[in-house]
Amino acid sequence: MWRFVRVTEVETESELWSLYENTFPRCERRSFGQHVRAMLEQPSFVCVKICVAERVAGLVFFWEMKHCLFLEHLAIAPECRRQGVGRMALKWLQGKGLPIVLEIEPPVDTPTCGRLKFYESCGFLLLPYPHKQAAFHADTHSVPLGLLSWPHVMSPSEVEAFERILSELVMTYTDA
């Protein structure tokens, strides 16, 4: 049976942190110190591990904002992929009743096209607005990404409000 467990402490040697580091390139994830700082300072930053028995099957890191949820990171352990865990995690988030927005790499190859197809099959819609993820580290650059939203295409004013929260809150937890 899958369980969603809110995480209030993360250790660098944990299965959860290892999954995070091994799934996302450094330019798309915050440092351990900034991650812990965000967890301690921001109740809106929610870190959840998806467990089966005592194993970490996945992770969901999101920001619960007034007008939407920002799904910052979703990762499924390699041995648990293609078992519906990611779809179940998205349904769990959708059940919170707020619109959801997430960043996605441009679909340019088989893996990135597969990710887009997966999110679209879960009801997410690719937005027609340009977007860049700000740098997480002083020695990295911003990353051009796309935005997806659920359950509707966000308006330009909704995207503007989202981008403002990203810069004023979310991206203050970086080493850049």
Predicted pLDDT at 54: 82
What letter would DSSP give residue 142?
A: -
pLDDT in tens, 92-109: 999 999 999 999 999 999
Cis-peptide, bond into residue 111, ω within 30° of zero: no
Query: How much of the chain is in helix, strand and coil states, percent to nearest 5?
Result: 35, 30, 35
Q: How confident is the model at residue 139 (pLDDT cuts 50, 70, 90)?
A: very high
pLDDT score for 12: 79
Return the pLDDT at 2: 87
Report pLDDT digits (tens) over 7-44: 988 887 799 999 999 999 999 999 999 999 999 999 99
pLDDT of residue 41: 96
What's the confidence (pLDDT) of residue 13?
Answer: 79
Q: pTM of the full predicted structure? A: 0.94
Please, where are the H alpha helices in the chain? 15-23, 32-41, 85-94, 110-121, 156-168
- Give me the domains of the chain, ranges plus CATH numbers: 2-172 (3.40.630.30)
Render pLDDT for 36-64 as a digit per residue (tens, 0 to 9): 999 999 999 999 999 988 889 999 999 99
Note the pLDDT of residue 59.
Answer: 97
Structure tokens given for 74: 């979703």
